[in-house]
């Protein structure tokens, strides 16, 4: 495919990797469509570089990144702490098999256990993604020997077969059945249904996200979360909290469940923000009973706990701690929520979420159009459903940068609303 890009107009034949002329961002868009499976749809832009909370596309246009790779780029782009950690680690050991261990891996595990206030006997398994972390949690649940697993409506736990079995969205599931069995979905927030489902005492685990991110940033109520903890404890069922999106400071606490008294889970899964952009996931088991479920040889991974990933995770946590970023997240997150509501815009019905994971509820199903208008205006955010805008910016974002978005939003909403009428 070398050279094809420059002579595209002269040699555009089907079945080659040459690309058509006149594409935005040069011919990269066409080459993407030819070379990559289309599971993500057409990419909105092709990005070339980032610095702090800004990214630039291949045409040199600048964007304020209010999505952070979907709650991943905790410290924004090209952060010096991540660069230093990765460089230093790559200069020493980039990868070892899990026949061996490295200091960063052990330190990151210890750090996570401390941040999670995990009791004695708690431990960590490292994976590479959120789906993989949930796969491991699924296997832990199976090891209880109990046949049933509960998940909630509107849940999202990932796209691999096990994680998909725990994900409620029919459109994601249907093409891949049969999925691993034994999973039942309960209406999120319905305490009576939960109590009834747990009553027979044969439920291995309940999986839940404290804030359902992909479903449109929908927090489970404190009452329901408390009931989840109380009832699972009563019936010897594991409470698995998926904090892949809500963890690592995103909500202003290290983990969202820490914002609610006595909500410590039996298992917690993490990924997204943990590596600040480097792929890493983790499962934390709380206490000795859960620790003992997965025995030597029953699970594994080649890359999980890789020293590059571990060093990056340590850099992310170290920076969040040293710079008091969680406090910052609470302050600017609360201010942003207030400011969005204070716009008094009739198209904004509510602002959901916590810290810097916010869903702006819209009165009309125009979220996709608003997100498109925002991109044109230089703001990256997304529409997890037709009437929600999701904001999940880097945790280091300043109030001033958030203010520019709040100021621009009424016009973006108006443009999308008018477009809908035509
Ligand atoms: C993104 C996400 C996942 C899946 O993570 P991947 O890294 O994409 O596999 C699982 N659970 C939640 C809550 C998520 O937001």
Domain ranges of the chain: 26-78+325-364+374-388+398-421, 82-322
Cβ 242 under 6 angstroms from ligand 1:
yes
Cβ 279 under 6 angstroms from ligand 1:
no
Residues near 59 by beta carbon (within 8 Å), at least 6 away in sequence: 24, 25
Residues near 379 by beta carbon (within 8 Å), at least 6 away in sequence: 63, 64, 66, 405, 408, 412
Confidence at 422, pLDDT banded by 50, 70, 90: low
Tokens representing residue 332 in the block: 């600017």
Report the separation in Å between the CA atom of 157 and the middle of ligand 1, taken as the mean of its atom positions. Answer: 6
Q: What is the pLDDT of residue 7?
A: 37
Bond into 214 cis (ω within 30): no
Q: What is the pLDDT of residue 74?
A: 98
Contact 418, 362 (CB under 8 A): no
Average pLDDT over residues 188-194: 98
pLDDT at 113 over 90: yes
- Report the C-alpha gap between 122 and 273 in whole angstroms: 22
State the residue for tokens 């040699």: 11
- Report the C-alpha gap between 33 and 20 in whole angstroms: 11
Contact 228, 236 (CB under 8 A): no
Q: What is the pLDDT of residues 232-279, one digit of tens each?
A: 999 999 999 999 999 999 999 999 999 999 999 999 999 999 999 999
Q: What is the pLDDT of residue 421?
A: 74
Report the separation in Å between the CA atom of 137 and the middle of ligand 1, taken as the mean of its atom positions. Answer: 13
In CATH, the number for domain 82-322 is: 3.40.640.10
Average pLDDT over residues 127-152: 98
Report the nearest atom of ligand 1 relative to the CA of 160: 9
Cβ 156 under 6 angstroms from ligand 1:
yes
Q: What is the pLDDT of residue 419?
A: 82
Give the pTM: 0.94
Average pLDDT over residues 336-344: 98
CATH architecture of 26-78+325-364+374-388+398-421: Alpha-Beta Complex (3.90)
Q: Which of 70, 71, 157 to mutate to test the pocket of ligand 1 (most atoms within 8 A of CB)?
A: 157
SS (H, E, C) 386-419: CCEEEECCCCCCCHHHHHHHHHHHHHHHHHHHHH
pLDDT at 155 over 80: yes
Report the separation in Å between the CA atom of 158 and the middle of ligand 1, taken as the mean of its atom positions. Answer: 5
- Report the C-alpha gap between 76 and 404 in whole angstroms: 17
Q: What is the pLDDT of residue 23?
A: 46
pLDDT at 145 over 90: yes
Q: What is the pLDDT of residue 388?
A: 98
Q: What is the pLDDT of residues 375-388, one digit of tens each?
A: 999 999 999 999 99
Q: What is the pLDDT of residues 213-226, one digit of tens each?
A: 999 999 999 999 99
Report the nearest atom of ligand 1 relative to the CA of 272: 7
Q: What is the pLDDT of residue 24?
A: 53
Residues near 290 by beta carbon (within 8 Å), at least 6 away in sequence: 122, 140, 238, 266, 267
Q: What is the pLDDT of residue 26?
A: 63
Report the nearest atom of ligand 1 relative to the CA of 279: 7
Q: What is the pLDDT of residues 3-38, one digit of tens each?
A: 334 333 433 344 444 433 444 556 999 999 999 999
Cβ 157 under 6 angstroms from ligand 1:
yes
Report the nearest atom of ligand 1 relative to the CA of 70: 1
């Amino acid at each position: 495919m070398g050279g094809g890009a420059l002579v595209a107009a002269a040699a555009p034949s089907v079945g080659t990797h040459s690309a058509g002329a006149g594409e935005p961002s040069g011919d990269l868009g066409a080459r993407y469509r030819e070379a990559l499976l289309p599971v993500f749809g057409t990419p909105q832009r092709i990005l070339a570089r980032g610095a702090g909370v800004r990214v630039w596309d291949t045409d040199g246009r600048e964007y304020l990144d209010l999505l952070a790779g979907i709650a991943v780029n905790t410290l924004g782009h090209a952060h010096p702490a991540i660069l230093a950690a990765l460089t230093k680690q790559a200069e020493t050991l980039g990868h070892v098999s899990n026949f061996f261990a490295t200091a960063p891996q052990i330190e990151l595990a210890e750090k996570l256990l401390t941040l999670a206030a995990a009791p004695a006997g708690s431990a960590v398994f490292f994976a590479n993604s959120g789906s993989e972390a949930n796969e491991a949690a699924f296997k832990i649940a199976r090891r209880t020997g109990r046949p049933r697993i509960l998940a909630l409506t509107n849940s999202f736990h990932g796209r691999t077969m096990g994680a998909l079995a725990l994900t409620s969205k029919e459109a994601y599931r249907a093409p891949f059945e049969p999925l691993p069995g034994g999973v039942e979905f309960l209406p999120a927030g319905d305490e009576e249904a939960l109590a009834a489902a747990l009553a027979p005492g044969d439920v291995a685990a309940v999986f839940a996200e404290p804030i359902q991110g992909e479903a449109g940033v929908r927090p489970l109520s404190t009452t329901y979360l408390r009931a989840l903890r109380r009832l699972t404890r009563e019936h010897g069922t594991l409470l698995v909290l998926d904090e892949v999106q809500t963890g690592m400071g995103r909500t202003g606490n290290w983990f969202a469940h820490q914002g609610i008294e006595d909500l410590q889970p039996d298992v917690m899964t993490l990924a997204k923000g943990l590596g600040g952009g480097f792929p890493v996931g983790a499962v934390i088991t709380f206490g000795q009973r859960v620790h003992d479920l997965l025995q030597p040889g029953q699970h594994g991974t080649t890359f999980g706990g890789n020293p590059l990933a571990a060093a990056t995770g340590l850099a992310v946590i170290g920076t969040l701690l040293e710079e008091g970023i969680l406090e910052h997240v609470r302050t600017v997150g609360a201010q942003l929520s207030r400011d969005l509501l204070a716009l008094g815009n009739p198209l904004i019905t509510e602002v959901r979420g916590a810290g810097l994971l916010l869903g702006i509820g819209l009165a009309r199903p125009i979220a996709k159009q608003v997100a498109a208008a925002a991109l044109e205006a230089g703001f990256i955010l997304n529409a997890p459903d037709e009437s929600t805008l999701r904001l999940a910016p880097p945790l280091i974002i300043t109030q001033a940068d958030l203010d520019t978005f709040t100021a621009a939003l009424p016009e973006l909403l108006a443009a999308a609303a008018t477009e809908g009428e035509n």
